[in-house]
Homo-oligomer: A and B are copies of this chain.
Amino acid sequence: MDSNFMKKPSKATITDIAKRVNMTTVTVSRALNRPEKVKKETLAQILEVARELNYVPNAFARNLKSRESRLFGLVTASLDNPFYGEVIKAITREAKRRDFSLMLFDTDGSAELEARAIDTLLSYQVAGIILSVVSDEDDYHPSYLPKLEMAGIPVVQIDRKLADAPFAGVYLDNQESGYRGISALLEQGHRHFLVVGGPERSNITLSRLAGIRRALDQYPEHTSLDVLHGDYTQGPAREAVSEYLARGKRPDAIFGLNLLITLGSLEAMRQHGVSRNDIQLFSIDQVPYAHLYGEPIPCISHDTYALGLSAINMLLKKIDDPQHVPADAVVKGQLQP
């Protein structure tokens, strides 16, 4: 091929340092890792030369030998979904505290990219993985699963649950959120609902819908329910709702089963000149900054920072004690405002 012209900016190694101080690499390695095991003067000398040469340890060499990495992997379908903002914050903070670094992957909703991400993470011998899969439908059986199980590294799932994976996870209280959301709307006097969810077979959507149906079934008065499905993103939700409104439908309230769906619904309402006085809007997940704009959108909000924290702590616990068998955790929602 080509490009052997690339000058290799030969980085300083412990061998270079060793030569300069007339010691062996072993001593240099020790000086760098267990300073107390080296004579003070030697140590000082080595450290100085190291600094002089801008020495940076080679993580690859170190890991190859020690079989231990300080790396976590985080895989999500969309890093830019505000829902994950706080999650990521929590995870990076805790990882940092424990001196781990993070490798982030945005799978952009693609199962193939998800598989690639897992492969890469595995090849980097990560100490643990936090995983939010692209689909939580029952028939999603990612091909990497056997590999991942066999690798024997701790995995914690968040938000979306893989149907048949033996990993613990942190999830939302989906049924309950649906139940409480629709109940709040019922209390306000609304009777006719449009619920906009994710994919028809997504378990999260199914659970939330189950909660909603449970509340409606219990309710003594007559109610009605229409349901639209999308893919948890804004565009499809907007289109579906827009088409629905175009058909002249006017429910009392629209219940978006996640943040982006709600925003998409709101867009559709605006397109059709429908105000939030005409149709009440309700969301699962809080719309960022909404409170700054006047009328906030009522919702079941989730403490996503806590979710991230819980996940990373499960991972860390598992790493500290591999015997430990973590149990699933659930983050409960809170009715806003």
Contact = CB atoms under 8 A, between A and B. Distances in A.
Interface stretch (A14-22, A51-59, A176-184, A189-197): A51-59
Interface string A103-120: 111101000010011011
A302 to B, nearest CB: 16
A31 interface: no
A91 to B, nearest CB: 9
A85 B80 contact: yes
Contacts of A60: 59-61, 63-64, 124-125
A327 interface: no
Given A61-B64, A101-B105, A88 B96 contact: no
Given A63-B60, A96-B113, A150-B54, A120 B105 contact: no
A270 B64 CA distance: 57
Copy tally for this chain in the complex stands at: 2
A9 B147 CA distance: 10
Nearest to A88: B79
Interface string A64-93: 100100000000000110100110110011
Contact of A151 (B9, B93, B266): B9
A145 B148 CA distance: 39
A9 B148 CA distance: 11
A105 B92 contact: yes
Contacts of A288: 82, 288-289
A71 to B, nearest CB: 8
B266 A119 contact: no
Contacts of A151: 9, 11, 54, 56
B106 A88 contact: yes
A56 B86 contact: no
Interface stretch (A163-171, A200-208, A290-298): A290-298
A28 interface: no
Contacts of A337: none
A125 B61 CA distance: 11
Interface of A: 5-9, 11, 54, 56-64, 67, 79-80, 82, 85-86, 88-89, 92-93, 96, 101-106, 108, 113, 116-117, 119-120, 122-125, 146-147, 150-153, 263, 266-267, 270, 287-290, 292-295, 322
